[in-house]
Structure 1
Amino acid sequence: MTKNSYTRSLEILRIDSSSRYADSVSRHLTDHLVARMLREYPDANFTTRDLAADLPLPTEAFVDGSLYSLQNPNPTMQAAVQLSNEMVSELLTADIVVLGMPIYNWTVPSTFKAYVDHVSRLGETFAYVDGVSQGLLRARSVYILFTSGGTGIGSEKDFATPYATYLWQTLGIQHVEIIDASGLLFNAEEKTRNAKIQIDQLLLPVFA
């Protein structure tokens, strides 16, 4: 389905995972991509999820709530999964996901891992069919803006991009577009400028 044939407002979910704000390159580049998308899809609805803003780690109450609340709900379980339910709802509504992802210590930020634990919900975002995992998200494209100090995207030290790619494909998003802003310790201005060029040259398909 192309932009011209789209019959409803596009739902775009922006996720920021950087622990930094004013000096965050990933947030800066995500702003740049969002601005581009707004030019392409001026009627789109944007939802923003900031993972650095007090996202709790999964607790025992959360695990019990996510596994058993439908069978035997109680107030403690319901309270423990309330935020998780909100984030799952955002994902299920999204047509496109935009993710700012710094690489910390060769892998994804702990904020993003906590998010994964909150939204990877059996029967809601993925299911098993004949023993095979099947993603339940309707979004078909995710754009990940990877930044790093010295870890090169695709290098033997990069454990972030394989993990993030596998995650989104497992949840049903097959088109994973990676914008490379790695190696910012070495000529950060040039690396950031090149990432913006990547963003400006992106094809923005709509998969409904």
Structure 2
Amino acid sequence: MSTILHITASIRNDESVSRSLGNRLVERLAENQGAIVVTRDLAKNDLPYIDVERFAANLAPYAERSPEQHELAKISDELIGELQEAETIVFSLPVYNFAVPATLKAWADLVARAGTTFRYAENGSEGLLTGKKVYLTIASGGMPIGSEIDFMTPWLKFFLGFLGMTDVELVAADGIMGEGGEEKIAEAHQEVEKLAA
């Protein structure tokens, strides 16, 4: 049975447009694929920020870690395991101040591990999380996705590609706090239905 990993980050919970889009996409994909769904809600703010001790623990070979390093690396191991197990990954993200929520950056710092999710090769880095399908369901109050002030989607696509995930589809409900916001949300939901069909 295949696995879908759903990563959410909006603090708005049930009122979240990005979460609503992602939930619908995940529901449809799971139905079509007969997949199980694993959800990682970053809005719970339960991920630690990387520091020098945690960084060292994450890079230490498993068999050589001290008990303290095993404890420090536990959450990173768990997050990486979720990525490795999933065939499909859906990110449901709001735009906060032109970029990703801080909780997603904390997640990224914990899953980028040399030798596990990427490696250094002769011609540069090589992503090790290949063969996965990724969907981004994004909501923005005012910032147009794909514009010169969109610092979120280029960074996110680059980071995912750095880890080997290059098959990425994007559904955006952007500028939804302005005129025609409800129509933009409805259009994004229609796009979700097309993607999941």
Output the TM-score relative to the length of structure 1: 0.88
CA deviation vs aligned residue, 1:65-109 (integer Å, no higher than 9, x gap):
012354742122111110110010010111110000111000111
Q: How does 1:158-197 map to 2 (within 5 A)?
A: 158-186=150-178, 187-197=180-190
5+ residue gaps, structure 1? 1-8
Which residue matches 2:18? 26
CA deviation vs aligned residue, 1:158-177 (integer Å, no higher than 9, x gap):
00010011011111111111
Gap change, CA 1:96 and 1:139, over 3 Å in 2: farther
The alignment status of 1:119 with 2:85, answered yes or no, reads: no
The alignment status of 1:147 with 2:169, answered yes or no, reads: no
Output the TM-score relative to the length of structure 2: 0.93
CA deviation vs aligned residue, 1:89-137 (integer Å, no higher than 9, x gap):
0101111100001110001110100000000011111111214211111
Moved more, 92-101 or 127-136: 127-136
Gap change, CA 1:191 and 1:89, over 3 Å in 2: same
5+ residue gaps, structure 2? none
Which of 175, 198, 203 aligns to 2:191? It is: 198
For 2:26 and 2:64, locate their aligned partners in 1 and report how far apart those are by CA, in whole Å.
41
Report the RMSD for the aligned CA atoms in angstroms: 1.5
Any conservation in 2 of the 1:69–1:77 contact (CA below 8 Å)?
Answer: no
> Secondary structure at the residue paired with 1:201?
helix
Report percent identity of matched pairs.
37
Aligned pair count reads 195
Which amino acid is the alignment partner of residue 39 of structure 2? Answer: T
